[in-house]
């Protein structure tokens, strides 16, 4: 399993493109894989014949693990197999630990064999959205934990995944509740970690009662199953709304000077740079400047700690041809001039549509921007991209009659106006700061230097 970026530690094999016995050329794609960031393919590092596939479709594999054995021309069969086995053994200490962990169950846990895990993960809980490891699924089956219960468990693992410890804690609490109901005694509360918000602010088990209403299809309805990316988006949006109290504010911005400047330079710019200049990099430049002025908006929350980010990495929501959404990140946006931002925006947007982004290019964001104006919508109330604390929405730029102040007095004029919106996490950004930040973005846009050279 190849390294796919610093933030990616594992990937799921979604489809084998070759089977055992197939001959492949160097760089032929042999498998499709999916991470929690992006989908891609694994190319063959050499020319040869596939001897053995070591994992099944649907298996999640750590980076660095051997996933297949190949025979290369002129190679001794036994020696090749022995070397591959040694390499796999050396590269997968985590896998060995996992086997030992399964072999020695904790007190109160039903023993889970590796065979049980494989058989169970292949046939049960097919309606689950999000990633659940085979071990977690198998424990859920043996302890009669339903799909609804499993999805209600708040995971403590990476990207909110449910770990072995999470599901065992849930089973233990469920047992205590059952015992309490039988005896009439209240179940003993569990002490919350010091770094987390007090449990009293959210009653234990409150999230477990939240269930989506049952929906019945009618005759003539078209039922379309969500693809993997749409499921990830759905889970991410629901999680964001559960994690952060969302507040949205709006402001009008006069874009007339910027519109006139862009109309003046766009033809020469495209001839010289081979690039189109859109309004997006201009909004990104203003947002980056405002984030330097208000670092609390460029932050994340960890329990009761606020992490004000030094880097300003702005995610740019990009619509894909299939209707899904991806957010490539412009790293160190505050250190790029308008030309650099323009090239970054065009490059990332094109490769996003071509599905050629790397995992690192869609991770590490500290703030996001979404452009409703691309679809001629005047404004919107965006959802925060966790673990960030704010997102800027940009509406369509439209000609509108507005009151224009002048030395001769007020008059009605036709101006190019857009509506900006900001949604922020009210745990750390209050209305005053959110409003001041949005007004600062307006200030930078309305005082844009129209004499600058690109």
The average pLDDT across 229-235 equals 86
Class of residue 230 by CB neighbours under 10 A (exposed 0-12, middle 13-18, buried 19+): middle
pLDDT higher at 280 or 232: 280
Active site residue 430: yes
Whether the pLDDT of residue 16 is over 50: the answer is yes
Domains of the chain, residue spans: 10-91, 104-187, 246-446
Band the pLDDT of 153: cuts 50, 70, 90.
confident
pLDDT higher at 136 or 231: 231
Q: What is the pLDDT of residues 364-380, one digit of tens each?
A: 999 999 999 989 999 99
Confirm if 381 and 423 have CB atoms less than 8 A apart: yes
Looking at residue 200, its pLDDT comes to 36
Whether the pLDDT of residue 17 is over 50: the answer is yes
CA distance 128 to 160: 15
Interhelix angle 338-353/280-293, nearest 10 degrees: 120
Band the pLDDT of 335: cuts 50, 70, 90.
very high
Range from 21-35, 77-91, 165-179, 433-447 that averages highest in pLDDT: 433-447
Radius of gyration of the chain (CA): 27
Q: Which one, of 283, 248, 298, 291, lies nearest residue 424 by Cα?
A: 248
CA distance 362 to 296: 22
pLDDT higher at 135 or 115: 135
Pick the CATH number of 10-91 from 2.40.128.280, 2.40.50.100, 2.40.10.220, 3.40.109.10: 2.40.50.100
Encode the chain in three state secondary structure.
Answer: CCCCCCCCCEEEEEEECCCCCCEECCCCEEEEEECCCCEEEEECCCCEEEEEECCCCCCEEECCCCCEEEECCCCCHHHHHHHHHHHHHHHCHHHHHHHHHHHCCCCCCCCCCHHHHHHHHHHCCCCCCCCCCHHHHHHHHHCCCCHHHHHHCCCCCHHHCCCHHHHHHHHHHHHHHHHHHHHCCCCCCCCCCCCCCCHHHCCCCHHHHCCCCCCCCCCCCCCCCCCHHHHHHHHHHHHHHHHCCEEEEEEEEECHHHHHHHHHHHHHHHHHHCCCCCCHHHHHHHHHHHHHHCHHHCEEEECCEEEECCCCCEEECEECCCCCEECCEECCHHHCCHHHHHHHHHHHHHHHHCCCCCHHHHCCCCEEEEEHHHHCCCCCCCCCCCCCCEEEEECCCEEEEEEECCCCCCEEEEEEEEEEEEEEECCCCCHHHHHHHHHHHHHHHHCCCCCCCC
Confirm if 419 and 371 have CB atoms less than 8 A apart: no
Looking at residue 158, its pLDDT comes to 58
Looking at residue 442, its pLDDT comes to 98
Looking at residue 219, its pLDDT comes to 92
Looking at residue 121, its pLDDT comes to 42
Whether the pLDDT of residue 348 is over 90: the answer is yes
Out of 246, 416, 426, 443, pick the active-site residue. Answer: 426
Looking at residue 12, its pLDDT comes to 87
% of the chain at pLDDT higher than 70: 77
The average pLDDT across 214-228 equals 90
Domains 10-91 and 246-446 share a fold: no
Out of 27, 332, 354, 430, pick the active-site residue. Answer: 430
Pick the CATH number of 246-446 from 3.30.559.10, 3.40.140.10, 1.10.3720.10, 3.30.365.10: 3.30.559.10
Looking at residue 26, its pLDDT comes to 82
Looking at residue 350, its pLDDT comes to 92
Active site residue 426: yes
Query: What average pLDDT does the chain have?
Result: 81
Q: What is the pLDDT of residues 405-432, one digit of tens each?
A: 888 889 999 999 999 999 999 999 999 9
User: Whole-model pTM?
Assistant: 0.62
Least confident range of 100-104, 150-154, 283-287: 100-104
Looking at residue 277, its pLDDT comes to 94
Looking at residue 127, its pLDDT comes to 53
Band the pLDDT of 307: cuts 50, 70, 90.
very high
Q: What is the pLDDT of residues 76-126, one digit of tens each?
A: 444 444 444 444 454 444 444 444 444 444 444 444 444 444 444 434 455
Looking at residue 123, its pLDDT comes to 40
**Partners of residue 114 on adjacent β-strands:** none
């Amino acid at each position: 399993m190849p390294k796919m970026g610093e933030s990616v530690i594992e990937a799921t094999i979604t489809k084998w493109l070759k089977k055992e016995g197939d001959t492949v050329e160097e760089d032929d794609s042999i498998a499709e894989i999916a991470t929690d960031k992006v989908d891609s393919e694994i190319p063959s590092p050499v020319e040869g014949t596939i001897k053995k596939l070591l994992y099944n479709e649907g298996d999640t594999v750590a980076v660095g693990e051997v996933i297949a054995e190949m025979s290369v021309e002129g190679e001794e069969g036994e020696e090749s197999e022995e070397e591959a086995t040694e390499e796999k053994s050396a590269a997968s200490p985590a896998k060995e630990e996992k086997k030992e962990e399964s072999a020695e169950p904790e007190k109160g846990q039903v023993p889970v064999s590796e065979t049980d895990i494989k058989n169970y993960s292949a046939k049960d809980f097919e309606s689950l959205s999000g990633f659940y490891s085979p071990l977690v699924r198998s424990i859920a089956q043996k302890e009669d934990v339903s799909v609804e219960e499993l999805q209600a468990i708040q995971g403590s693992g990476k990207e909110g995944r449910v770990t072995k410890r999470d599901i065992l804690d849930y089973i233990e609490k469920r047992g205590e509740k059952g015992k309490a109901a039988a005896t009439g005694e209240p179940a003993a509360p569990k002490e919350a970690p010091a770094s987390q918000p007090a449990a009293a602010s959210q009653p234990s088990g409150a999230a477990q009662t939240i269930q989506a209403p049952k929906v019945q299809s009618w005759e003539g309805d078209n039922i379309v199953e969500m693809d993997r990316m749409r499921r990830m988006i759905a889970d991410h949006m629901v999680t964001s709304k559960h994690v952060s109290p969302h507040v949205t504010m709006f402001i009008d911005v006069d874009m007339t000077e910027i519109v006139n400047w862009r109309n003046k330079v766009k033809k020469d710019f495209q001839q010289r740079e081979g690039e189109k200049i859109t309004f997006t990099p201009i909004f990104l430049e203003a947002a980056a400047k405002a984030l330097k002025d208000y670092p609390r908006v460029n932050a994340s929350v960890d329990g009761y700690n606020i992490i004000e980010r030094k880097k300003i990495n702005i995610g740019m929501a990009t619509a894909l041809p299939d209707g899904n959404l991806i957010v490539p990140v412009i790293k160190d946006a505050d250190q790029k001039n308008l030309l650099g931002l323009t090239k970054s925006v065009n490059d990332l947007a094109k490769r996003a549509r071509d599905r050629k982004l790397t995992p690192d290019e869609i991770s590490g964001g500290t703030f996001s921007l979404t452009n409703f104006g691309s679809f001629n919508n005047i404004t919107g109330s965006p959802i925060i991209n966790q673990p960030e604390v704010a997102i800027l929405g940009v509406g369509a730029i439209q000609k509108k009659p507005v009151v224009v102040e002048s030395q001769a007095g007020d008059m009605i004029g036709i101006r190019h106006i857009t509506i900006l919106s900001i949604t922020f996490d009210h745990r750390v950004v209050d209305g005053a700061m959110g409003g001041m930040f949005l007004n600062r973005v307006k200030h930078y846009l309305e005082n844009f230097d129209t004499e600058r050279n690109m």
